[in-house]
Amino acid sequence: MVRKTENISLKGYNSFGVDTSADLLVEWDSVESLVEWLRSEGKEILSGRWDILGGGCNTLFTGPYRGVLIHSISNGISIVSQSNDYVIIRAEAGHLWDDVVEWCCQQELWGIENLSAIPSSVGASAVQNIGAYGVEAKDCIESVEVVWLDTLTIGTISGAECAFGYRESIFKHELAGKVIITAVNYRLSHTPAPKLGYGSLQEEVAKLGEMTPLAIRKAITTIRNGKLPDPAITGNAGSFFKNPILPREQVEALKVLYPTMPTYVVEGQPDKLKIATGWMIDSLGWKGRAMGRAGVHDKQALVLVNLGGAEGCEVVALAERICKEVKEKFGVDISPEVNIL
């Protein structure tokens, strides 16, 4: 089934809660219906302005969207194959990511429990390579199923081909505008492999007295709820900015000036280090401050919030001011993680 709605309000389709509209929203619930619709109208639609919208939790609309938003409402999780060690599960692109995590934890499958409570669709989990608490989606993505928009054929891209990096994937670069993700296959394990070395996770899990995927999920949900704003109450898109990955010498020079600046090693890049944008924004005094109806969250400086009725351009203005001040003080360019439309 494909459902088309003209002049639709986007308020419920973006976690910033920006009240704007799109010329047309096209929702599809199966790969067959998507391909059929693309065959009949795709050529015309794809020659104009269009974008793919998941749950809108990493998207900021700066004004009415003058084009077509293609949105998956496909749902479903199934087991594709399994052995004594692993299970491959397949989830439809429109399925809620956190429901996939919960389902896996309930089956005592290990691998994605640390990615609990991230608001995402399955499709975007691969585009964004979502990450938290020392785990990234790439660690478990076996393959991604797509529709190729030039030929309208169905294809599969292996995890290794996805060029995953920190909030990066091939879908943001070479394949941007060339495919629609229809499902993702994840490889999970029956073998316990808790990863607790991040923040206060170890202590929070210890309080629960058991070491299961469900216990880790519970601990992570508790920690996240304590420090991140709930988009249903305060519009936001999680971390607004990325943490820059810089040459080691540049970071070491910054550490001389700012000894308490947190730095992190980057897997596979020994000559680089990641620095914390939230720390820089906090040290500029922005935490809890506002500029009009947009603000910086009072518990996490990396998160920009809609304080009520903000338009997307107000959030962008705040973000630009913060970027400028970070550059002036630290000499570092920061860039948004959020997709600005």
Ligand X SMILES: Cc1cc2nc3c(=O)[nH]c(=O)nc-3n(C[C@H](O)[C@H](O)[C@H](O)COP(=O)(O)OP(=O)(O)OC[C@H]3O[C@@H](n4cnc5c(N)ncnc54)[C@H](O)[C@@H]3O)c2cc1C
| 149-to-38, 65, 129, 180, 231 alpha-carbon distances in Å | 8, 22, 22, 7, 33
Residue 220 beta carbon to ligand X: minimum distance, rounded to whole angstroms: 9
Shortest distance in whole angstroms from residue 129 CB to ligand X: 7
Contact track, ligand X, 57-76, x by CB under 6 A:
xxx------------x----
Neighbours of 121 (CB within 10 A): 29
* Under rule CB under 6 A, residue 164 binds ligand X: no
Cβ of residue 260: shortest distance to ligand X, in angstroms? 24
Binding to ligand X in span 194-223, by CB under 6 A = none
Among residues 191, 170, 189, which one has the least CA distance to residue 179?
Answer: 170
- The pair of structure tokens assigned to 22 is 């799109």
Burial class from Cβ neighbours inside 10 Å (0-12, 13-18, 19+) for residue 193 reads exposed
Q: Which one, 110 or 133, has the nearer CB to ligand X?
A: 133
Do the Cβ atoms of 240 and 336 come closer than 8 Å? yes
Nearest-approach distance from CB 130 to ligand X, in angstroms: 3
Query: Choosing from 167, 224, 289, 293, which is the catalytic residue?
Result: 167
**Closer Cβ to ligand X, 30 or 72, answer by number:** 72
Candidate list 42, 159, 165, 238; residue touching ligand X; CB under 6 A: 238
Exposure on the CB side of residue 165, measured as CA atoms within 13 A: 15
> 183 — phi, psi (to 5°)?
-165, 160
Instruction: Decide if 239 is catalytic.
Output: yes
d(CA 338, CA 76): 27
State yes or no: residue 295 binds ligand X (CB under 6 A): no
* Residue 40 annotated to the active site: no
Single out the segment in contact with ligand X by CB under 6 A; choices: 33-41, 55-63, 149-157, 256-264. Answer: 55-63
228 binds ligand X (CB under 6 A): yes
Report how far residue 227's alpha carbon sits from residue 205's, in angstroms, rounded to the nearest whole number. 17
For ligand X, give the closer residue by CB, 300 or 322: 300
Query: Least distance to ligand X from the beta carbon of 74, Å?
Result: 9
- The beta strands (E) that lie in 208-291 are given as 235-239, 245-247, 263-265, 272-275, 290-291
Residue (54 or 244) nearer to ligand X, CB: 54
Place of tokens 């494909």: 2
Q: Which of 17, 42, 56, 159 binds ligand X (CB under 6 A)?
A: 56
- In the bound state with ligand X, the residue whose beta carbon lies nearer, of 15 and 110, is 15
Residue 247 structure tokens: 């040459």
Between 169 and 330, CB nearer to ligand X? 169
Among 203, 195, 204, 208, residue whose Cα is nearest residue 136:
195
Known catalytic residues are: 167, 239, 337
- In the complex, the residues that contact ligand X under the rule CB under 6 A are 15, 51-59, 72, 93, 118-121, 123-125, 127-128, 130-132, 171, 180-181, 228, 231, 236-238, 339
